[in-house]
Amino acid sequence: MNVNFDIQGKQAEPSKPPKPVIKTKNLDFAYGDSQALFNISMDIFKKEVTAFIGPSGCGKSTLLRCFNRMNDLIDIAQIKSGSIRISDIDIYNKDVDVIELRKHVGMVFQKSNPFPKSIYENIAYGMRIQGVKNRSELDETVESSLRGAALWDEVKDRLNKSALGLSGGQQQRLCIARALAVKPKIILMDEPCSALDPVATAKVEELIHKLKKHYTIVVVTHNMQQAARVSDRTAFFYLGRLVEYETTEQIFMNPKNSKTEAYVSGRFG
Amino acid sequence: MKSDTNKQTTHLFSQRFSRNKVMELSITGILRFFTYLVIVLAGYLFLDITYNGSKAVFTKEAPFVNFQFLTEKPQTLHVFEPADIDTQLKSAKAEILTKSIKRRALSNSNYEAAEAFTLAIKDLNKEVKELDDLRKERRLMFSDTEYRALATTPSTKDFVYSTYAYSGGGIGPAIIGTILLVFGSILIALTLGVLCAVYLSEYSKPGKVLQSIRLSILNLSGVPSIVFGLFGFGLFVLYLDWGVSLMAGWFTLALMALPVIITASEESMRAIPKGFREGSLALGASKWTCIRTNVLPYAMPGILTSSIMGIARVAGETAPIMFTAAFALRDRLPWEGLENSTDFFFQGVMALPYHIYVVSSKIPQNEYTQNMQYGTAFVFLLIVGLFALSSIILRVKVRKKYDW
């Protein structure tokens, strides 16, 4: 057993030691009186795909939304103790501009939410709200973002058509492209494939693989096969606690915790 | 043949009589009856106004529209009834009266004599009707300007002369006044209402305070219009010293429409999917940017539609403008005789609802005033209808633009 673990661990680790970009330390998080996260400590590494798995209501989406402070939108949500540091900056510090943080940490949502504008305007939105008016700059970003999200060839002839006319999978990739357009370093994906059919899911997963070269990606997923396919590291959450956080092979082949084992083998969840 | 066999054979699912079915049928009948009753009543109202009103607004010859009525100022109506027919009519009517009194006295004792009176009255009624038609044919009616332009007035020997205030001319200033009032108050109410609604639905923290604010806004819509009128009179006309003016009317009407607009705007904004907001905020938009670019544009169709409907409803009220903006008669149009440009906002105007009120209440109703009353009501109905229609068209257009 131990030998097996060593070998797998070595395979997963790149030769250089990975650099942590998001450092969560002893995080306690609550919605009003009900605590959602208990004492979470984990490092998320640069240019890797980290998957959060766990049964519904285990706090994985909550933690994800802590990383770009989307939880600020909920009045009763608050961090009770602990800290999250991104690039060594405490993002819950008072001097942090949420807007700059969110530009740095992009997000893709469970339900694809393209704006009811043209495809072009959807991608350009992030630039426009930053005050970019230069047409050629916008064109360039739109094209590179769409190419980045592997959507360019499918939509290049109808950039001015409504984004709502795209299929579900295309809409989700559009949302990824939209997130890419503001040039983030980290991309958070909250169950990006839960509403997609297998073909579209495969395309999005392929895209995640591709994006890994340039971005740090955190994916919340209900689909264990997906976590196994796309991620380098997997964190298993249960009832607001981080049960196990290891390389993906480790979690799926040789979990240390009996709960993790039960979950990844489909015995509960 | 076939139906016969059907009748005879009863199977598992064949029709059978039950009290529930009778109940069901009668309930349906009752519901249908009352629904149709409402429709018939409303239809009668509209048709009556349209039929009688179109007599004043449309003409039989080209161009088929009575521009005089739509553009001229209200004037006194000068009526000359032919004197000879008038006396004949009066005597005939007097005779009918005496005969019917006699008949009533006889009706219990002498049936045959009473019957004779009934026949005589019938004949007389016919005669009166003929005389009346003749009178209408030969009578002369002039508005004030026409009367003054006459070279020779009809002699009082041949004609019985009478005048009726506000019943001649047209309703031009009232139409213009109403349109001005509606547009101004839309502008004010929309601005105030949307700003309030944005704050309430997007910025304010839920809690007891917000609840009580919402409740008081809702209660505001239950305040009677005359109270709004008096409030506007007290605040705008007297305290702020704007006088009876467009401004005072605008603000009073806008205040009255505010509850509707705030509620409708909040509703429209709440209907915007959460994803639009989250998507925008996650891209680094500030709250206001998010609202400006991703909430308001998509909520606008709903806001506009319900707001314009609300204003059109409020603009139909007489009470709020009665003390604040409306004049019974004003012979100058709003843009005539202004000394400086701000005077425009501080002048009273005529308005259709108030005009209807004035014409209907301050002078006795008769055949001469009827034309003006129905015509005004009809035009008013048309204008309110146009506003409603435009709000619907606007919504459809904006919806199309956003393709959502």
Q: Are residues B151 and B269 in the same domain?
A: no
Q: Are residues B190 and B317 in the same domain?
A: yes
Within this chain, do residues B285 and B368 fall inside the same structural domain, yes or no? yes
CB A113 within 8 A of CB B276: yes
- Domain total of chain A: 1
Write down the residue that tokens 């009353």 correspond to: B373
Q: Please name the member of B205, B275, B286 whose beta carbon is closest to the beta carbon of A109.
A: B275
Q: Nearest CB to A109: which of B278, B286, B289?
A: B278
- Say what the pLDDT of residue A11 is: 47
Least CB–CB distance from B283: residue in A73, A126, A164: A126
In a domain, B46, yes or no: no
What range does the domain containing B105 cover?
74-169
pLDDT in tens, B237-251: 889 988 888 889 999
- Interface contact A102-B276, CB threshold 8 A: no
**Residues B330 and B350 sit within 8 Å (Cβ to Cβ):** yes
pLDDT at B13 (0 to 100): 84
Per-residue confidence (pLDDT) for residue B66, from 0 to 100: 78
**pLDDT score at B164:** 80
Determine what percent of chain B is predicted with pLDDT higher than 90. 12
Best of B203, B278, B283, B300 to mutate (most A CBs within 10 Å, chain A): B283
Q: Do B283 and A129 touch (CB under 8 A)?
A: yes
On the question of pLDDT at B165 being above 70, the answer is yes
List, for residues B308-340, the tens digit of each pLDDT value.
888 778 878 888 888 888 887 777 777 777 777
Flag whether A20 is in a domain: yes
Does the pLDDT at position B131 exceed 70? yes
CA B329 to chain centre: 19
Amino acid B307 reads S
Angle between helices A135-148 and A119-128 (to 10 degrees): 110
pLDDT at A1 over 60: no
Domain check: are B158 and B178 in the same one? no
Residue B97: is its pLDDT beyond 50?
yes
Highest mean pLDDT among B20-29, B285-294, B377-386: B20-29
* Statement to judge: residues B296 and B181 lie in one domain: yes
Token reading at B270: 């709440």
Instruction: Give residue-wise pLDDT tens across range B213-246.
Output: 889 988 888 888 899 999 999 998 889 988 888 8
Please indicate whether residue A114 or residue B345 has the higher confidence score (pLDDT): A114
Cβ distance of A109 and B285 shorter than 8 Å: no
User: d(Cα B329, Cα A88) in Å, to the nearest integer?
Assistant: 76
- Supply the CATH number for residue A10's domain: 3.40.50.300
CA distances from B203 to B209, B218, B303 (A): 13, 19, 18
Residues B394 and B301 in one domain: yes
Q: What is the pLDDT of residue B242?
A: 87
Residue B298 banded pLDDT, cuts 50, 70, 90? confident
Q: Clarify whether residues B188 and B133 are in a common domain.
A: no
Yes or no, beta carbons of A109 and B283 under 8 Å apart = no
**Is residue A264 over pLDDT 90?**
no
Residues 83-142 of A with CB under 8 A from B: 99-100, 102-103, 106-107, 109, 111, 113-117, 125-126, 128-130
Q: Which among B169, B186, B205 is the end of a domain?
A: B169
What's the pLDDT at B8?
65
Q: Which residues pair with A105 in a beta bridge?
A: A186
Asked if A37 and A78 count as a contact pair (C-beta separation under 8 A), the reply is no
Sign of CA dihedral A83, A85, A89, A91: negative
- The answer to whether B153 and B128 are in contact (CB under 8 A) is no
CB A60 within 8 A of CB A220: yes
Name the domain boundary from B140, B169, B198.
B169
Specify the pTM: 0.76
Q: Does A239 touch chain B (CB under 8 A)?
A: no
Q: Per residue in A193-206, pLDDT tens?
A: 887 888 888 888 88
**A116: cis peptide before it, omega within 30°?**
no
CB within 8 Å: A103 and B298: no
Identify whether residues B123 and B190 lie together within a single domain: no
- How many domains is chain B partitioned into structurally? 2
Name the minimum distance, in Å, from the CA of B220 to any CA of chain A: 29
pLDDT band for position B195 (cuts 50, 70, 90):
very high
| A125, A130, A164, A190, best to mutate vs chain B, most B CBs in 10 Å | A125
The answer to whether residue B45 is domain-embedded is no
Residue A269 within a domain: no
Distance from CA of B404 to the nearest CA of A (A): 6
**Radius of gyration for the alpha carbons in chain B, expressed in angstroms and rounded:** 31
Judged by DSSP in three states, B133 sits in helix
pLDDT at B137: 78
Q: Do B276 and A113 touch (CB under 8 A)?
A: yes
Q: How confident is the model at residue B6 (pLDDT cuts 50, 70, 90)?
A: low
The Cα–Cα gap between A21 and A41 comes to 13
- CATH number, domain at B245? 1.10.3720.10
Does residue B51 lie in a domain region? no
Mean pLDDT lowest among A241-255, B21-35, B387-401: B387-401
* B357-371 confidence digits (pLDDT tens): 888 876 666 777 788
Residues of B with CB under 8 A from a CB of A: 205-206, 273, 275-286, 289, 293-294, 298, 402-404
Residues B355, B224, single domain; the answer is yes
